[in-house]
Amino acid sequence: MRKEWEVLHTAVNCEISLDRESKILICRWIGFQHEKPLKDSGKIILVLLKKHKCCKILNDNTDVLGPWYHSAEWTSTKWFPNMIEAGLRHFAWVCPKDMFAQLSAEKALPQQRVVKTFYFVEEAMDWLKTQE
């Protein structure tokens, strides 16, 4: 985590920070994702997005392990539309190294064109900063 990022929320499965300068919300997911903690963290992200009036999210899945098919459809059809309605415009998704987590992420992509995938956090951050 970078110095300029302010930690807003910490859970076992997810850490949410804010880059105040660029107003980018940084969500770093960690380890295995069980259904309830995942959805809870998702809901907190939605609240924080509204609260800080962000439209950009860096969704870092680098360290996610294992499949999370249990919540893939919910993410795609419920969470993303709510997020978009709340003001989300650009979602930089850093792919997990774990193949099962990667397959789950592919399943969770929304129909709306707000997501762009990356392999490295720096790349994703750079892209977000160039977006309006």
Partner 1 sequence: MPGTELKRLEELIGKDIPNLIQMDCKVCEALLTDFRRALKEEAERIKLSMSRRIASVERKKELRKYVREQQQNLIMLNTYLLNHANPEKLAASSVVPEAAALCHYIYKTLDDLLSFMERHFIGYFDLDTWIPTNYRLIVIQEIREDLETLEQVMLSKSIDKKLVEIVFLAFTQLIQSELEDEITYRKVRYLKKLKNELFRIFNTDHESSDTSESVKQLLIRLNFNCMPFVNYSTNEIKVRLQNLETLVEKREHLAHSLKEINQIRDRTGFVLDIRLPSLKEQVSMWIVEELDCQVTAQQLPISFPETVKTILEKIELNLSVAQLAALIWAGVKEGLIKNKNVSAVFRAVVAMVNTKKTDEISFGSLKTKYQDIEQGTRDALIKILQSLIDRLRSHS
Which CB, 72 or 88, lies closer to partner 1? 72
- Binding-site ranges for partner 1 (CB under 8 A): 32, 65-67, 69-70, 97-100, 102-103, 106-107
Task: State the nearest-atom distance from the C-beta of 112 to partner 1, in Å.
Answer: 22
Which CB, 15 or 98, lies closer to partner 1? 98
Which CB, 100 or 127, lies closer to partner 1? 100
Per-residue 3-state assignment (H helix, E strand, C coil) for 69-120: HHHHHHHHHHHHHHHHHCCCCEEEEECCCCHHHHHHHHHHCCCCCCEEEECC
Task: State the nearest-atom distance from the C-beta of 107 to partner 1, in Å.
Answer: 7
Angle made by CA atoms 59, 85, 21, in degrees to the nearest 5: 50
